[in-house]
A = this chain, B = another copy of it.
Amino acid sequence: MKLTTKGRYAVTAMLDLSLHYGEGPITLADIAQRQGISLSYLEQLFSRLRKKSLVASVRGPGGGYSLGKSAEEIFVGEVISAVDENIDTTRCNGAHNCQNNERCLTHDLWSDLSNQIYSYLNKISLQDLMDRKAVREVADRQDHADHDELSGLDISMADGSNDLAGT
């Protein structure tokens, strides 16, 4: 599992979808506008999410996306690994031949770590996220935003993500 903005976008979009569940199918255009993600990029992400049955789609006018299962059953880890595909063929991938056809020194460390993070992320469901107060507050703001304001401005540059971020 990798942890990049790609996975973040996917989780953000899925959470948006969850929050508006019950309003019928949600269009990607809506999500793009509310979450500030490019529509075409969302299309790519949702293509992968659909292949993993995390979302279901309805075409045509009034169509859009809905969750493939209930929000309690969709976990953050699933969403991230759905979009990240992680075909890292540069190292051992479970085979024990990382170095000179034998196992590298830290082989097991990375396996363990991978499992740990994966299991952590797979305990957090979309429903859990929706239950968070801070999430609901932001969602409310987004829903009641004057959408016209978006046409004129472009997003400030002075941002940066609190991604898995240390230094």
Tell me, rounded to whole Å, the shortest Cβ–Cβ distance linking A125 to chain B.
Answer: 12
Residues of B within 8 A of A11 (CB): 106, 109
A94 in the interface, Cβ–Cβ < 8 Å? yes
Residues of B within 8 A of A132 (CB): 108
Complex Cα spacing A101 to B14, Å = 22
Evaluate whether A90 and B165 lie within 8 angstroms (CB atoms) in the complex, with A36-B99, A138-B103 already known.
Answer: no
Q: Are A117 and B161 in contact (CB under 8 A)?
A: no
Complex Cα spacing A90 to B161, Å = 6
Complex Cα spacing A12 to B80, Å = 26
Q: Are B15 and A105 in contact (CB under 8 A)?
A: yes
Complex Cα spacing A94 to B162, Å = 5
Could you mark each residue 109-120 of chain A with 1 if its beta carbon is under 8 Å from any beta carbon of chain B, else 0?
A: 111011011101
Q: Are B162 and A114 in contact (CB under 8 A)?
A: yes
Evaluate whether A156 and B101 lie within 8 angstroms (CB atoms) in the complex, with A117-B117, A164-B3 already known.
Answer: yes
Q: Give which listed residue, B85, B117, B160, contacts A167 with CB less than 8 A.
A: B85
Q: Are A162 and B76 in contact (CB under 8 A)?
A: no
Q: Are B158 and A97 in contact (CB under 8 A)?
A: yes
Using a CB–CB distance below 8 Å, which chain A residues touch chain B?
1-5, 8, 11-12, 15-16, 35-36, 76-77, 80-81, 84-95, 97-111, 113-114, 116-118, 120-121, 124, 129, 132, 134-135, 138-139, 141-142, 150, 153, 155-156, 158-167
